[in-house]
Amino acid sequence: MSDETLESGYPGVGRLYYFLGRVMLIIVTIFTVVYFGPQSRVFAVVTLATMIAGAVLDVMRLRNIGVTSWLLFLKYLPYGALVLSIGLQTAQTGWVETKRLDRPGWAILATHAALIAVIIFLIKRSQATMSIPAFLPF
């Protein structure tokens, strides 16, 4: 099946535009907190707006890969947002038909796995260095 058939058969947002939309939401949030401050009313409104826009973007991406929109509620489980985010970034348009990742999907998944491994390593490393008493002369 060609990509053109898949694109027309599944409405929503593709993998690239989903990623770019998420990046823009992060940029808007960072700009607002730097320019207006974390205690401002503007930041509260922008945060609410970006949360709603992020949920809409996730639903559009879920429709694009061909699964139910109810999976959005995975965001509210512990580590569910991480699993949902990785799944939405790795799955190609029409994933439900094959239930297999394409080559770019595997590359994105490997990148996420490597970043998670580095984060876990850094956390373990910082816990090990914090346990050394400060009064030892070295």
Which pLDDT belongs to residue 88? 96
d(CA 28, CA 131): 38
d(CA 33, CA 130): 31
Tell me how far the alpha carbon of residue 4 is from its chain's centroid: 26
Structure tokens at 128: 């090990």
What is the value of pTM for the model shown? Answer: 0.82
Which pLDDT belongs to residue 130? 62
Please name which of 14, 27, 107 lies closest in space to residue 64, comparing C-alpha atoms. 14
- Please state, as a whole number, how many other Cβ atoms lie within 10 Å of the Cβ of residue 31: 11
Q: Is the dihedral of CA 36, 37, 43, 44 positive or negative?
A: negative
Per-residue confidence at 131, pLDDT binned at 50, 70, 90? low
Q: What is the pLDDT of residues 13-25, one digit of tens each?
A: 999 999 999 999 9
Q: What is the pLDDT of residues 35-94, one digit of tens each?
A: 999 999 999 999 999 999 999 999 999 999 999 999 999 999 999 999 999 999 999 999
pLDDT at 124 over 60: yes
d(CA 19, CA 33): 21
d(CA 33, CA 26): 11
d(CA 19, CA 101): 17
Per-residue confidence at 3, pLDDT binned at 50, 70, 90? very low
Over pLDDT 90: what percentage of the chain? 80
d(CA 69, CA 106): 23
